[in-house]
Amino acid sequence: MNAPRLLAGRIEAVQKHEGGLPSAEAVHDMRVALRRLRAALRLLRLRELDPPVKELQDALGQVRDLQLQIEWLAGRPPSRRRTAALRKAERALEPALAKWRDRTLPALLDAARKAKAPGASRRRQILRKRLRRFEERLEAALARPTPRAMHRVRISVKQIRYLFEIEKGPAAKLLLAELPPLQESLGQLHDMDVRAMPQEKAARAQLASIVKTQLQRWKNRDIIGIGVQTVTHRL
């Protein structure tokens, strides 16, 4: 693993979307790039740089949530309150971007020049820990499939996916084939839970049933356990 190249590439992926802000596409794509950057920081043991990166991700999230609400209500008369809230979130994004440019980005670029990949043993430990957390959340969601439990599974799915995009190998091949459909279903379910529209109640119940079936399949096939074993023996 070339640590400087990995981190520099993740930083570049974030930066290429800044010029398009605050368009919905740029906000979405920059948030995804920041998540991938955070996965690289986690794997390279640069956790001290994670909080300021998350700060920008959260600021973009405030904008994105409001953009989605406006999209969901397309065709209705625009709400002045919602439009004002979006403008406020976009204004709040400016100081977050300024901090990113002035402080966070220079620190990341400096870290990229000095970055060293941890040994295989340490990387295995990090990956196993995330897989086990994913397993715990999956079990909790199956036992009690509340919106919060499903959202926590969704967070773990994204974390695992972005980590294994970095760590190539048999475990990555297995998990990256299985994770995207689950992430997509969980994302759709989360959107419905955020919207909380009465007319979507039946569709939400149907989708929740599909997601539960997907999670049960993961458990029955022990996909996470196989991933842990593969990481342990093949990384």
Is the domain of 110 the same as that of 124?
Answer: no
Confidence label for 92 from pLDDT (cuts 50, 70 and 90): confident
83, 114, 145 — which closes off a domain?
A: 114
pLDDT tens digits, one per residue of 159-168? 999 999 998 8
More confident call, 135 vs 86:
135
Please give the average per-residue pLDDT across 128-155, as a whole number.
96
pLDDT tens digits, one per residue of 194-218? 888 888 999 999 999 999 999 999 9
Res 162: pLDDT: 96
Res 75: pLDDT: 58
114, 140, 175 — which closes off a domain?
A: 114
Please give the average per-residue pLDDT across 22-31, as a whole number.
94
* Structural domain range at position 18: 3-114
Confidence label for 98 from pLDDT (cuts 50, 70 and 90): very high
Domain of 136: which CATH number? 1.20.120
82, 114, 146 — which closes off a domain?
A: 114
The domain total for the chain is 2
Given a cut of 60, whether residue 224 has pLDDT beyond it is yes
For the chain, give the DSSP string: --HHHHHHHHHHHHHTTGGGTTSHHHHHHHHHHHHHHHHHHHHTT-GGGHHHHHHHHHHHHHHHHHHHHHHHTTTSPPPHHHHHHHHHHHHHHHHHHHHIIIIIHHHHHHHHHH--PPPHHHHHHHHHHHHHHHHHHHHHHHHS--HHHHHHHHHHHHHHHHHHHHS-SHHHHHHHHHHHHHHHHHHHHHHHHHH--GGGHHHHHHHHHHHHHHHHHHHHHTHHHHHHHHHHHH-
Res 143: pLDDT: 97
Is the domain of 126 the same as that of 109?
Answer: no
pLDDT tens digits, one per residue of 36-91? 999 999 999 999 999 999 999 999 998 888 888 777 776 565 567 777 877 888 88
Is the domain of 105 the same as that of 132?
Answer: no
Prediction pTM value:
0.88
